[in-house]
Amino acid sequence: MAEEEKTEQVDETPEKGGNYIAQAWLILLLAVCFGASLTGVQISLGEKIQQNKLNETFSQIPNLVPGSDTGKGFEIDGKIIYRAMSGDAQVGWVVPATGQGFADKVEILIGLDTKADKLTGLYVLDQKETPGLGNKIVEEDWQMQYVDKPTASQIEVIKAGSPTVNQIMAVTGATISSVAVTDLVNKTVAEIKDKLASNAK
Amino acid sequence: MNRNEPTALERFINGILPENPVYRQLLGMCPTLAVTNSMEPAMTMAVAVAFVLLSANIIVSLIRHLLKPHLRILVFTLTIATFVTIADRILQAYMWDMSKQLGPYVPLIIVNCIIICRCEVCASKQKLGPAIMDALGQSLGFALALASVATVREILGSGTWFGLPVMPAVWPDWVIMVLPPGAFLTLGVLIGLVNWLQNKKKQTA
């Protein structure tokens, strides 16, 4: 913030080049006050927002793993993942993941079968991609492409043609968002696949 | 500043119709087109914009004597961005589904030119009273504009208003009204209508 003021100020009043702080004190002060108030807001609301996300995660588990009705939290390497349960029997996994999209962070949930051999679903929990283009990653039709993809090899994004068993079509005009989600899936699954398979009940 | 500076009450009334931000100033077109496919998101957006506009006008009016001309836009943007972030977090905490439905349009309030326009035109030159009344009037005008577009689109597109069925069951929902083209069609017709009424009023007067 201070950098911008300096350049602007030098352009307009070169003879007073020395007193940047005198010119910018109000902005610096406001920045500190606003920053403090945002911290306050985050501290008081952060927990509630997390809880909302968690509630949505649980409500999505039956859609992500067919046949499941509830989820049970489970920790691997400090990361919380969910067992998708049908009664007492485990029928799959739901793994949350966060990565950089085109505009901001993208948070997704990945559904996997019990042995983590194939994907059973994908859901975008939070995103701020470009309206009308990148935000089409929230549409069910697009997310359904990930269903039944084997995890043995990486998923590729294609822009034209008909996708083969390990390919998905990019959202038209939003290749970066599509690749971001796909890379996130590939990376997360590759990291956690073996641990999931060995922990399955 | 001219001598015929409007009073606080005039500012409030001006914002509603004579200087309606959407119909007369054609500002804030993005939310007007994007979140008006039904009443609920449109009114949530209107409340969020009102909160940000009111807060930004208050802060800017309070510090108006300290503003440096070449740094003022920076101060406006900083103030607006802070309140938009607060509004966004409140929505996420208490209206999670609505926050997801509005998606990026809430953070995009930062670039809603109604707010920066009111900071520049009014709040940075006025006392606190007129600045507050101006913010309230403009917010109400914006809310009415969103409501008018959303009413037409929701009734024709989904046969409901605020989610309540209002059209007979045989009504074939005009899907195009829910989709983006419906927003442009509705807004165009409504702006035309407002201008036509205005001209008619002028002629008879």
**Structure ipTM:** 0.79
Decide if B63 and A26 are in contact by the 8 Å CB cutoff.
yes
Q: What local confidence, expressed as pLDDT, does residue A76 receive?
A: 82
Q: Determine, for residues A49 and B74 on separate chains, whether the beta-carbon distance falls below 8 Å.
A: no
Give the model confidence (pLDDT) of B140-175 as tens digits.
999 999 999 999 999 999 888 998 888 888 888 888
Say whether A45 and B75 touch across the interface (CB within 8 A): no
pLDDT tens digit string along B49-72? 999 999 999 999 999 998 888 888
Does a structural domain hold residue B138? yes
What was the pLDDT predicted at A17?
A: 55
Residue B178, domain extent:
8-204
The CA distance from A165 to the nearest CA of chain B, in Å, is: 32
Domain count, chain B: 1
- The chain B residue lying nearest A8, using CA atoms, is B70
**Is B2 a member of any domain?**
no
Residue B3 within a domain: no
- Report the 10 Å Cβ neighbour count for B199: 10
Residue A165: exposed, middle, or buried by beta-carbon count in 10 A (0-12, 13-18, 19+)? exposed
| Burial group, residue B170, by CB count within 10 angstroms (0-12, 13-18, 19+) | exposed
Residue B205 has pLDDT above 70, yes or no: yes
Of B63, B85, B92, the CB nearest to A49: B92
Give B4's pLDDT tier (boundaries 50, 70, 90).
low
The pair phi, psi for residue B172, each rounded to 5°, is -80, 110
From B66, B104, B180, residue closest to A135, measured CB to CB: B104
Which residue ranges make up each domain of chain A?
2-48, 65-199
Whether residue A103 and residue B104 make contact (CB cut-off 8 A), yes or no, is yes
Residue type, A44: S
Q: Is the pLDDT of residue A1 over 50?
A: no
pLDDT of the residue at B152: 94
CA distance B138 to A16: 39
Q: Which amino acid is at A72?
A: K
Question: Cβ separation of A49 and B75 shorter than 8 Å?
Answer: no
The 10s digit of each residue's pLDDT in A155-171 is 999 998 888 888 999 99
- Inter-residue contact A70 to A90 (CB < 8 Å): no
